[in-house]
Structure 1
Amino acid sequence: MTKKEIVKTISEEIGMTQLKTKEIVQKTFNAIVETLVEEQRIELRNFGVFEVKKRAARKARNPRTGQRVDVPQKFVITFKPGKEMEEKVRELEQRLLGQPQAPAQAPAPPAEGNAQPAAAPAQSSDPPAA
């Protein structure tokens, strides 16, 4: 969806002209950007959190030549979705995939002094799911 489509949808829903709606949408986006620049963080309840984070300088490798290259530090914008957004996406996932996906969990480490090799996963006679 584009900004133009967002403006059209909102305009139709609230009965405001597209021109006025476009101005409000643009001012909202401008306020988000200005807040990120000034405060490095903006929290929009039930939506999510935008945050400016520093990525440290690092060494990388050019995949074509294999040559090592220095990647300078830089600032990036991150987004962490709010609970409401995550729930809506989970509902979408359930509708599209049929079953909810259980959150992945790492296996618990063995108790000290009781280290035993991990058991092989149980074999199922069911055919693999498509």
Structure 2
Amino acid sequence: MFNIRMGIPEMKEFWDDLEKKIKNNVASKKEVILFKKLVSCFKKLALDSKYPSLCTHDIEVLSKRYGIKVWQSYLENNKPAAGRVFWVYGPNKSDITIIGLEPHPNDKKDAYQKITLSRKPEDEKNSV
């Protein structure tokens, strides 16, 4: 079982804003649908990072760029620009940190060049 955390600052700000809109009942229909997909994805990731329907796999080009193994899981499939969640293990052994949310990149050679990811929070043991 994993704890799901949000990368900083982008993913944490995005998630906090989306949760606030949902809670206050002011989210658009698109935001409500996205929220439901994210919650479903996060539940599956928390149970099993290799949950079959997530089709999780590492993204070598992003792993090289960021110096840590970056994983991609499906938020949805069989749709144009289907959503993908990018994540890393850590900062603690039982954590998965969500560091990006993007439409699926096209299959061109430099498909992942435009993707910018959040940072993972510092290890709680080392934070003040």
TM-score by shorter chain over 0.5: no
TM-score (norm. length: structure 1): 0.29
TM-score (norm. length: structure 2): 0.30
Higher Rg = 1
Bigger relative CO (Cα 8 Å, ≥ 6 apart) = 2
